[in-house]
Amino acid sequence: MPQRPHGPHRPLPTMTADALVIADFSPRSPRGPRARRSRDSPRSPGPYRRLLATPGARAFTIGNLLARLPMGMFSVSAVVMIAGTRGSYALAGAVTAAGLGATAVVAPWIARLVDRYGQAKIAVPATLLAALGSLALLLCVRLDAPAWTLFVSYAATATTPNLGGMSRARWAYLLDGDEKALHVANSFEQAADEACFMLGPVLAAFLCGTFFPEAGTLAGVTLLVTGALLFAAQRSTEPPVRRRAASKSPFRAPGIPPLLTVCLAMGAVFGSMEVVTIGFADAQGHRAAAGIVLGLQAAGSCAAGLVYGAVHRDGSVEDRYVWCITAMTALLTLPLLAAALTGSLLVLGCALLVAGMATAPTMVTGMTLVQRRTPPGRLNEGMTLAVTGLLGGIACGSAAGGWTVEHVSPVAGYGVPVTAAAAALMIALVTHRPARSSNRFT
């Protein structure tokens, strides 16, 4: 056998950087590309984690959510408190309806002041005035004051600023130019709205029933003031005040009136659905379960809103708005069919869960269009006008739904939200403006 020649050892060949990379990622290497990627590269955060990682976002979001939760508490607390002490649901309903009407008048004015002078300067005193109104209502009920004092006190709560609109304005300021991130932010805010209106009434009913009738109002005032102060304290994320001498009113801006009309019809969907479901559950002998059934609708909307924000969408927001309203109209036939064919509250709850899944995507696309079409420096006012349209529709829908339940039947009442959604679809189709570029992400 030939032997290795004696002499000094030959040095090993030097491996270049490219050779090391090839060796490290070779199929025989124990650290292949898949193992290396799983160990060395952290999993990319989801869209909502990236959104909340924006500097200052978590602080103002926490305060805003605390302040928005009572929005779903005050009306229920007022009804329980007034009806429990005065023995009149008619009086309780009239007081809350008057407060809703006052909000529709005062809210745009408050939003206009916010745009002109800044969020912190207007939101804090407006919130404190609204809190005093709620406390005055509590005292008037407690002290058995005349009925007119209840209307005056609850009307004072109309100065509550549009906290959801102010939060959306902050996202628009922080994410200026990033359409994808703004889409995620609008979806997050809509999901937050649904969650607050789902949890608020449950919390209010629990507090009023477990402790004393005024507990829901006291807790709501505490959360509202604490959250609003925390939100306003985050000055680094507050949009700067813009001069708006040349800007026209959002109500007269091109494309805004049709959106407000659709909001009015959408509000009629929400208002009628709530009253009709309560009437249907009462007819079944399970009125206490109406809140849970309505909560399923809000839960479906909340989940759909989060999914809608996480999924990337191509095409124009104008086209998607029409498609979302179409889906909403189609899905709202499910509760009508469930009530007519089965009469089961359980089946109705499942139908509402599915029907609610079109709500948040529709609202997200609608608010996106409002943001785009509102003149610069008037964003809070524009979004508050949309909310005002919703409130007006809720009042009209509640009246129409209640009349139908009382004079026709609870099952027929589910035709009211379907009709309102169909009206919204017709308005959207007639006023639809196709986008110039179908490849733009919105």
Q: Give domain limits for the chain.
A: 46-180+198-241, 248-442
How far, in whole angstroms, is CA 394 from its chain's centroid? 15
Tokens of 436: 């110039």
CATH superfamily of 248-442: MFS general substrate transporter like domains (1.20.1250.20)
Residue 242 main-chain phi, psi, to 5 deg:
-105, 145
pLDDT digits (tens, 9 = 90+) for 128-184: 999 999 999 999 999 989 999 999 999 999 999 989 889 988 998 898 878 888 888
**Of the candidates 368, 373, 372, which has an alpha carbon nearest to the alpha carbon of residue 253?**
373
Q: Do domains 46-180+198-241 and 248-442 have the same CATH topology?
A: yes
> Contact 227/354 with Cβ under 8 angstroms?
no
The top-scoring range by mean pLDDT among 218-227, 370-379, 427-436 is: 218-227
Per-residue pLDDT at 250 exceeds 80: no
Burial class of residue 412, CB neighbours in 10 A (0-12, 13-18, 19+): middle
pLDDT digits (tens, 9 = 90+) for 63-78: 999 999 988 788 878 8
Q: Within 13 A of 282's CA, how many CA atoms are on the CB side?
A: 11
pTM (2 d.p.): 0.73
Whole-number pLDDT of residue 18: 43
pLDDT digits (tens, 9 = 90+) for 259-292: 999 999 998 898 888 888 878 887 888 766 777 8
Domain 46-180+198-241: CATH architecture, name and number where available: Up-down Bundle (1.20)
Mean pLDDT taken over the chain:
81
Place of tokens 């270049």: 16
**Of the candidates 56, 393, 363, which has an alpha carbon nearest to the alpha carbon of residue 189?**
363
